[in-house]
Amino acid sequence: MPALAFISAAEKNAGPFLVTGASGNVGREVLKALLARGAPVRAALRGSRKANADALGCETVHFDFEDPSSYAPALKGIKGLFLMRPNPVLAVKKTLNRVLDVAAEQGVTHCVFLSVAGAEKNSLVPHHAVEQHLMRGPLRWTLLRAGFFMQNLSGPYREDIREGTLVLPAGSGKVAYVDAQDLGEVAALALREPAAHSGRGYHLTGMESLSFDRVAALLTLELGRAVQYRAATLWGYWRHCRRRRIGIVPTLAYTMIHAALRGGSGAAIDSKLSDLLGRPPRTLRQFVEENRSVWA
């Protein structure tokens, strides 16, 4: 057997794997991708129950970023960790970074971390501190620096789209949307083949950069009713979020994210996702076609 093939087989991680955020958009897709490949998986959930295990199709374990006593039991026996930051968790040094320390103590060998595009240069985003901690620590690591998720349309934008007017302070900025399903496949790939992906940071986007006017036009076509985009001022968007009863912290986060889009922060297209998948990434049209009922 050639030496390269021997090394590749020896370095393949058979698991088991722990998936944090297992009930969320990306975590669910990571679970699906790992289970589809026959990998042993443990889903980390707050208040794990048998019903959750039955619904997810795998073992579940109680895990809470705000409860350090839950870290070691959840990580016991795990070899690969998929780590992501829940939006409410801002103090990453005493939560996510501590999880990484406990993971190393428990014998975890590799972590795939769901970061955000530009985190390596922006110390203001919480993901930056986690990336730095990973790079300084003993674990092998892979960073998935994701662009703007299509799932924003079915999540934060859902009520606006249902009512026919998408209100955002993004000006004429464009976005190279990425689907959580594609991210789940890449995460599973990196977890199972750490030798090929350790020490890598991947900027992951779709292959089309769309303005919000174009997104509204696509929604209009696919839903069969008018959806328009209204470019709001920062203050106008703030008032819009308050009318929607969105909390102050998420409103601030949404405002900063969309204001940055005005300057082109989400427009760049990178072919890396396509290279890793071995196929074109899913398109926004596909996502909308498959999720029409969300905006009914």
Residue 6 has pLDDT above 70, yes or no: no
How far is the C-alpha of 134 from the C-alpha of 119, rounded, in Å?
Answer: 13
The answer regarding whether domain 14-146 maps to CATH 3.30.360.10 reads no
The values of phi and psi at residue 111, to 5°, are -125, 130
pLDDT in tens, 9-39: 445 777 799 999 998 999 999 999 999 999 9
Domains 14-146 and 147-177+206-268+278-296 share a fold: no
Q: For the chain, where are the alpha helices, taking DSSP H only?
A: 3-11, 25-36, 50-56, 71-75, 96-105, 126-136, 151-154, 158-163, 180-192, 194-197, 212-223, 234-243, 248-262, 272-277, 284-290
Indicate the domain borders of the chain.
Answer: 14-146, 147-177+206-268+278-296
Tokens coding 36 = 């589809």
- Which pLDDT score, from 0 to 100, does residue 162 have? 97
Q: Which strand ranges, in their side-by-side order, compose the sheet holding 41-45?
A: 59-62, 41-45, 17-19, 80-84, 110-116, 140-146, 200-204
Per the listing, tokens 């839903």 go with: 223
pLDDT in tens, 211-235: 999 999 999 999 999 999 999 999 9
- Is the pTM for the entire model greater than 0.85? yes
How far is the C-alpha of 25 from the C-alpha of 21, rounded, in Å?
Answer: 8
Tokens coding 69 = 């006593």
Confidence of residue 203 (pLDDT cuts 50, 70, 90): very high
User: In whole angstroms, how large is the CA radius of gyration of the chain?
Assistant: 20
- Which pLDDT score, from 0 to 100, does residue 8 have? 43
Q: Among candidates 41, 81, 30, 9, which has minimal Cα distance to 189?
A: 30
- Which pLDDT score, from 0 to 100, does residue 11 have? 57
Tokens coding 62 = 């109680």
Secondary structure class of 233 (helix, strand, coil): coil
Q: Mean pLDDT over residues 274-291, rounded? A: 97
How far is the C-alpha of 222 from the C-alpha of 257, rounded, in Å?
Answer: 26
Per the listing, tokens 């203050």 go with: 235
Residue 2 has pLDDT above 50, yes or no: no
pLDDT in tens, 123-158: 888 999 999 999 999 999 999 999 999 999 999 999
- Which pLDDT score, from 0 to 100, does residue 51 have? 65
Task: Give me the architecture of the 147-177+206-268+278-296 domain, per CATH.
Answer: Alpha-Beta Complex (3.90)
140: Cβ–Cβ under 8 A, 6 or more apart, which residues? Answer: 109, 110, 111, 194, 198, 199
Lowest mean pLDDT across 5-14, 97-106, 180-189, 271-280: 5-14
For residue 17, give the H/E element and its range. strand 17-19
